[in-house]
Amino acid sequence: MADMGRTRKKIIFAWIAGFLFLFLPAKNVFSMECVSSDVVRSITPPGVDQPSDLAIGAKGNIYLVDGVNNRVVVTSGEGALQFSFGKGGSGPGEFQYPLGIDIAKDGRVFIADTGNHRIQVFDAGGTFQYLFPVKTSDGEKPADPVDVLAIELKNYLYVADNDNHKIKVHQQDGTFEFEFGGFGEVRGRFRYPGILAVNEFNQIFVVDVLNTRIQKFDPFGNFIAEIGTWGVTPGGLFKPKGVAVDNTGRVFISDSFMGCVQAFTNLGGFIGVVCENGAKREFDTPVGMVFDAQNRMHVVEMRANRIRIVEVSE
């Protein structure tokens, strides 16, 4: 009973502090710990329903995962609709509630086809190329891939297997290489890993959702650093959902509950909250994120069914 009481108090505190974080004047909340930003544009593709993640192709096109509609929607960088691909099903080129996406340097588009427990690969025009199941071991649940990350080093493809609390590493042709993680709260383990990102040194960042942190690893799965901790004031994370690294090495993390994006150093030092005129910039359920070649931050706002493109100060 005492544990239940402490849990209730923690929940009550979270809601009260969250309310303060959302609504108190900036001078009382942020203490000048801001990263200034300006909105470049907002893109709302027609018919999109609760998008989750995005990637940017070589020509600047934006690939948005519209998982509820079992498709990927592609717009130009300015927001003009180009095409879409995919439909519901389990056949090649069909999806069952996909969540994550990444685009390799050679233009191949990798999709975490979550409900079908597999990865599907397309060319830049949305033409199906091949697919492969995510590796599972005896005793594991069916793979629950929620994001995918392609890097040039050894052609590795990292898959966040949410239900098995691991990162499964394959070759980009589907050959299994190794895995790391496992259920737990200690460093190097996960409770429901989510979106992935990489920096210029091929270091991998994993959103460790229920542990309210981002973990950083070398490309072979060796732990390097922990970024963020539970909290509902600046520098804390309540429900982290997205991570992206800009061209200066700063790590940006979206918090879907707090409706904000925060910046950290690559070893976890808090830099500031993404702000507008000294006050927290509001995002509507921010999830997947990516930076483009101009170092502009693209944020998926799930409930607003849009992409917000933001210029952040250096």
**Model pLDDT for residues 126-163, shown as the tens digit of each residue:** 999 999 999 999 999 999 999 999 999 999 999 999 99
- Averaged pLDDT, 13-22: 47
Q: Coil, strand, or helix at residue 18?
A: helix
- Three-state SS at 11: helix
Which letter does DSSP use for residue 114 in this model?
Answer: G
Answer for the pair 267, 286: CB distance below 8 angstroms, yes or no.
no
pLDDT band at residue 314, thresholds of 50, 70 and 90?
confident
Does the pLDDT value for residue 19 go beyond 80? no
Map tokens 């910046």 to a residue. Answer: 263
Q: Quickly state the pLDDT bin for 73 (edges 50, 70, 90).
A: very high
- pLDDT on residue 244: 98
Buried b / exposed e along 148-168 (16+ C-beta atoms within 10 A) = bbbbeeeebbbbbbbbbbbbb
Q: What is the mean pLDDT of residues 274-278?
A: 93
**pLDDT tops 90 at residue 195:** yes
pLDDT of residue 305 exceeding 70, the answer is yes
Model confidence band, residue 41 (pLDDT cutoffs 50, 70, 90): very high
The pLDDT score that the predictor gives to residue 29 is 41
Residue with structure tokens 């170092």?
295
Chain CA centroid to CA 152, Å: 20
Asked if residue 109 has pLDDT above 60, the reply is yes
* pLDDT mean over 24-39: 65
Tell me the mean pLDDT in the region 189-205: 98
- 3-class secondary structure, 257: coil
Residue 208 above 50 pLDDT?
Answer: yes
